[in-house]
Structure 1
Amino acid sequence: MPERRRGAALEKALLDAAWEELAETGYARFTMEAVARRAGTSPSVLYRRWSDRDDLVRAATVHVLREYRLDTPDTGSLRGDVLTLMREINATRVQFITVMGAHLAGYYRETGTSPGDLRDPLVTGRAQALDVLFDRAVERGEIKPEPLTERVRSLPFDLLRHEILMTFAPVPDDVLEEIVDTVFLPLVLPPAR
């Protein structure tokens, strides 16, 4: 007989099952009953934790963002760090970005939210990871902090996400380099003399 899951182990299993269900079937066919079947439990176990499927979708998405955070690279240069992180996202997060963008369209419409609401960097820890990356570049003297607005910080990753959502496939490496070298770095590096 399988060991009974409780507490954090049960919650993780439920959230993992919810994410798998979303990724496989999309929001339109996502039900509490299907998640319960996938998790090997009853719907009442889910309803004790989340009032409805929208609460569960949000919890599963935040869980995945927290659980599978990428390490912040330290290559010794801003270009290297940003490219390394983009390459890691490109290699490991295409399915996640697709689910967030395409599979959850009905969720956004029904709840009046957007992907940005689910990717709250304060909730998921994304803000701190990028802060470390950019703070290192400032400390090395590569860049000044003034041009690093939130939009500029997120720009290379926003462009990567856009490219993935246009094809639902990994982005060619030359496109990643173009994003970094032609679009992002000219915004933050001091002008050449």
Structure 2
Amino acid sequence: MPERRRGAALEKALLDAAWEELMDTGYARFTMDAVVKRAGTSPPVLYRRWSNRDELVRAAIVHTLKESRLDVPDTGSLREDILTLMREINSTRVQFITIMSMRLADYHQETGNSPVDLRDPLATGRAEALDALFGRAVDRGEIKPELLTERVKSLPFDLLRHEILTTFAPVPDDTLEEIVDGVFLPLVR
């Protein structure tokens, strides 16, 4: 008999099953029953945590984004930190970004939520990690802290995501450098 999962291990298994179901079937065909079956559990176990599929989908996305968060580099230079992180996203996350966008189109349409609503940087830990990266750059005197709005901090990554979603392919390195050198750095210096 398999060992009974509890607490964090059970929640992780449920969220992983929900994510897998979402990626396999998309939001339109995503059901709580399918997640129960995939996770090998019972409906009450799932419904005690999430009362409907929208809550479960949102939780699965936040969980997956948190688990797939990349380490923030510390190269000693803001330019190199941003480029290193963008290159890592570019080399490891193109398929993830593309599939997630396609599979969640129905979710956005049905719920009225936008993709930005699902990438909550506080819930995923992204804000804290990027704040540390930008804090080091401020401490080194590379950038002016008053110019670091949330939009400016996310700009290079937003532009990278835009490039990925318009080509469904990795972005050429010269384009990454153009984003950083021609768009981002002039805004923070």
- Of residues 147-156 and 96-105 in structure 1, the stretch that sits farther from structure 2 once superposed is 96-105
**What fraction of aligned residue pairs are identical, expressed as a percent?**
81
- Does residue 187 (structure 1) correspond to residue 187 (structure 2)? The answer is yes
The residue type paired with residue 136 of structure 1 is: R
TM normalised by structure 2 equals 0.93
CA contact (8 A) 2:94 2:169 kept: yes
Match of 1:86? 86
**Who is 1:30 aligned against?**
30
Kindly indicate whether residue 4 of structure 2 is the aligned counterpart of residue 4 of structure 1: yes
What's the CA shift string for 1:96-130, capped at 9, x where partnerless?
32244221111112112111111111222211111
Q: Which residue of 2 aligns with 1:164?
A: 164
Letter in 2 for 1:9: A
Secondary structure in 1 matching 2:147: coil
Is contact 1:36-1:46 (8 Å) kept? yes
- Which region of structure 1 is more displaced relative to structure 2, 103-112 or 76-85? 103-112
Are 1:66 and 2:66 matched, yes or no?
yes
Q: CA deviation at 1:73?
A: 0.6
Instruction: Tell me, yes or no, if the aligned pair for 1:100 and 1:115 is still in contact at 8 Å.
Output: no
Deviation at 1:158, TM superposition (A): 0.2
* Superposition RMSD in Å: 1.5
Quick one: distance in 1 between partners of 2:95 and 2:23? 8
1:30 deviates by: 1.1
- Looking at structure 2, the residues matched to 153 and 6 of structure 1 have their Cα atoms a distance apart, in angstroms, of 38
Aligned residue-pair number:
189
Q: 1:170 deviation in Å?
A: 2.1
Note the C-alpha offset of 1:43.
Answer: 3.1
Aligned equivalents of 2:104 and 2:3: distance in 1? 33
* Contact map agreement 2:36 2:42 (CA 8 A) in 1: yes
User: What letter matches 1:18 in structure 2?
Assistant: A
Deviations 1:141-184 (A, max 9, x none): 11111221111111000001111111223222222112112211
Question: Amino acid of the residue matched to residue 146 of structure 2?
Answer: E
Q: How far 1:136 sits from its partner (Å)?
A: 0.7
Q: CA deviation at 1:82?
A: 0.2
Post-superposition shift, 1:61? Answer: 0.7
CA distance in 1, matches of 2:36, 2:179: 42
List per-residue Cα deviations over 1:4-43 (Å, max 9, x = no partner): 1111101101101111111222111111122222212233
Greater displacement, 119-128 / 56-65: 119-128
Uncovered stretches (5+) of structure 1, i.e. residues with no partner: none
Deviates more, 1:114-123 or 1:151-160: 114-123
Alignment check: 8 A CA contact 2:82 2:180 kept = yes
Counterpart for residue 131 of structure 1 = 131
Could you tell me whether the CA contact under 8 Å between 2:23 and 2:100 is conserved in 1?
A: no
Mapped pair 1:150 → 2:173: no
Unpaired segments of 5 or more residues in structure 2? none
